[in-house]
Amino acid sequence: MTETEIIEKLKPKLREEGLEVDFLGREGAVVNIRARRVSPGVPVAFLVKAIAGTYRRYIPEIEDVCLAEYDPGEAIGTAPSETFEPVFKHKSVFSGLELKGLPVIDLAGLDRRHAIQALENFARAWSSKSPILGVEGLEEDAPMRAMKKWAAVYQDDYSETQVVSERRWNILVAPASSPEIEEMLSKPDERMPGKIFLMLVEDSE
């Protein structure tokens, strides 16, 4: 399967998630794509990560996907951007806070799209501060599907996931045998509602 054929195969599903994507070309081990937001959906960064994973599955020599051109479209009410860089020029509002326990996000009550967005922002906020992250609310179908999808797409970014119960998974950022994991597990949970991670970025400048 060629680079173009892979994108064509993914297009219907990506459009369901609110994104139109085109293949621009390949530079060595990197595929360049163009994307335009046509309706609300899961975060663009999540979809790009999923596209990269699909490419690596079919063409192992491809290492990554670069979103060379991105147009947020009218769906999010902002003018088109020539590059993807501005999308990432943000920082977590939690960056200055210190953890006192194990960070846990509760996804209960969120639909799949919002659960993915909240989980992605939660991991971005705390994975550099904690060797383990907790996810609750998974007894509901939508959060559980979001958790499984997130785990599959970001499997290269963490050590493993552990199923604690029908409502709780742990994401191990560090290896399970590391002393940091044991130390964090001895601390109480710091539970955070998923909704607060739907709007958690602020301009870093």
Contact call for residues 42 and 76 (beta carbons, < 8 A): no
Check residue 131 and report its DSSP letter.
Answer: S
Report domain extents, the chain. Answer: 3-88, 92-203
What does the alpha-carbon distance between residue 176 and residue 131 come to, in Å, rounded to a whole number? Answer: 9
* Residue 97, pLDDT score: 54
User: How many Å apart are CA 98 and CA 35, to the nearest integer?
Assistant: 36
Paired sense of beta strands 102-106 and 160-163, if any: unpaired
Domain 92-203 has CATH 3.30.1370: yes
| Gap between the Cα atoms of 68 and 183, Å rounded | 42
In this structure, what are the phi and psi dihedrals at residue 76, rounded to the nearest 5 degrees?
Answer: -115, 10
For 3-88, CATH number out of 1.10.510.10, 3.30.750.24, 3.30.300.130, 3.10.180.10 equals 3.30.300.130
Torsion angle of alpha carbons 16, 12, 117, 134, nearest 10°? 120
Mean pLDDT (10-residue bins), the chain, 205 residues = 91 89 93 90 83 89 90 56 36 53 94 91 88 97 95 91 96 93 91 79 34
